[in-house]
Amino acid sequence: MTTTDDPSQTGARRPVRPAGAVPAGDGPALPAPSGWFCLALSRELARGAVLTRRFADEDVVLYRTRAGTVRATRPYCPHMGAHLGYGSTVEGESLVCPFHRFAFGPDGTCVSDPDGVPLRTRVNHFPVLERNGFLHIWNGRDGEPPAWELPAVPGPQVRPTAHWAVETDTHPQEVVENIADFRHLGTLHRLAVRQLSPPIADGPYLRTNLRSNAGRIPFFGQLSWEESTLMAGLGWNLTELELPHYGLAVHLWGLPTPIGPWRTVLRVAAACEVTDPRRVPGLNLPAVRAALTRAVARSTLRMTARIIRQDVPIWDHKRYEPRPRLAAGDHSVGVYRHWARQFYPPGPPTGHDPA
Ligand code: FES
Ligand SMILES: [Fe+2]
């Protein structure tokens, strides 16, 4: 498996349905949810660089200023409509359009025109959050500012050392529903999993706790572990795998981003930290520690990608069921569906409630 953040390099799947052909039961299709969504890794955007990414069927132009601040804007220049992702330059703290070289400053206003007085216009920036080596933008309802933050875990210094991404014909809500759908872990993935507690919802956050014997890690063999997943909206979740016997903890990010109607790129990344160096000989030596934690992160990511590859054909071909006929053992899915409603506009029924 290639560990990379570029879906085009990872066997990314081509659409199997025409865009917009969304089988959605008897209800309307889900729109792009509100919340924070990852568009890139920090290292993809050097100082002075400009990058175009897809979000909710539109381009978003990301750039990093000379001082290191990341900004994200809608793609079209308000002067005469040039696409700012094609040929723009970063000069100091401003983004300069390639067509007539109007410059847009930190708050988006036009700050210079090479031929005279700056035009009274602006580009609209998305709120941006750079956290743990990821770049997230805020998608607010009707342009509302961020209503909540991403959780401050696993700590500001932690950076993933392994990445992978895949595209799939589905919606982030369907991807994240996998975490609440414990039942499929046994049937589709053949994982022996026990739910330790029902999901706990707290505003835009939802936490689940499992015990799993999910797989093998180099040097350690078959492991069982406790894992807790914290979801923050539908675009960010973090699973913490605790391996206290070995003095290690693995952080596993799942970052689904809607790039088009019923089309999602799912970025997955892993980092491993030593929690108790006395557990494994040599872990107090920096070189050994770095090599081992990288190997464990990479192996965990590889195992996770293997599991996700089993989900992808399901996601690519299933239809969205607004009112699934949930069984007694599907309680967590009902909790999840109810929690997920907050990320869509209120108003006409969108059919999220289980029957
Ligand atoms: S179109 Fe951007 S400066 Fe003219
Ligand atoms: Fe799954």
CATH number at residue 236: 3.90.380.10
> Ligand 2 centre and the CA of 233: distance in Å?
18
Residue 305 domain flag: yes
If one compares 47 and 115, the residue with the highest pLDDT of the two is 47
**pLDDT tens-digit map of 256-307:** 999 998 999 999 999 999 988 888 777 778 898 899 999 999 999 999 999 9
Residues with CB under 6 A from ligand 1: 77, 79-82, 97, 99-100, 102
Q: Does residue 239 form part of some domain?
A: yes
Closest ligand relative to 95 C-alpha: 1
Based on the domain organization, do 186 and 112 belong to the same domain? no
pTM of full prediction above 0.85: yes
Query: Could you tell me if 70 and 205 lie in one domain?
Result: no
273: domain range? 162-342
Does some domain include residue 13? no
Does residue 308 lie within any of the structural domains?
yes
Q: Rounded to the nearest whole angstrom, what is the distance from the C-alpha of residue 204 to the centroid of ligand 1? A: 39
pLDDT tens column, 77-122: 999 999 999 999 999 999 999 999 999 999 999 999 998 899 999 9
Q: Are residues 203 and 333 in the same domain?
A: yes
The domain tally of the chain equals: 2
Domain holding 102: CATH number? 2.102.10.10
Indicate if 186 and 282 belong to the same structural domain.
yes
The residue whose CA has the least distance to atom 3 of ligand 1 is: 100
Tell me whether residue 52 is in a domain.
yes
Tell me which ligand sits closest to the C-alpha of residue 104: 1
Which ligand gives the minimal distance to the CA of 185?
2
Asked whether residue 18 is domain-assigned, the answer is no
Distance 178 CA to ligand 2 centre (A): 5
Tell me, yes or no, whether 229 and 129 share the same domain: no
Q: Are residues 237 and 181 in the same domain?
A: yes
Domain check: are 89 and 169 in the same one?
no
The pLDDT value given to residue 160: 97
Last residue of a domain, one of 109, 143, 177: 143
254 and 333 inside one domain: yes
Same domain, 243 and 274: yes
Question: Best substitution site from 89, 100, 112, 115 to test ligand 1's pocket, by max atoms within 8 Å of Cβ?
Answer: 100
Q: Is residue 137 part of a domain?
A: yes
Write the DSSP string, 274-329. ES-TTSSTTTTSHHHHHHHHHHHHHHHHHHHHHHHHHHHHHHHH----SS----GG
Looking at the fold, whether 183 and 127 belong to one and the same domain comes out as no
In this structure, the answer to whether residues 83 and 169 fall within a common structural domain is no
Neighbouring C-alpha atoms within 13 Å toward the C-beta of 330: 14
Tell whether 116 is covered by a domain: yes
Q: Measure 295 CA to ligand 2 centroid, in angstroms.
A: 23
Q: Domain check: are 105 and 237 in the same one?
A: no
Return the ligand 1 atom nearest residue 100 CA.
Answer: 3
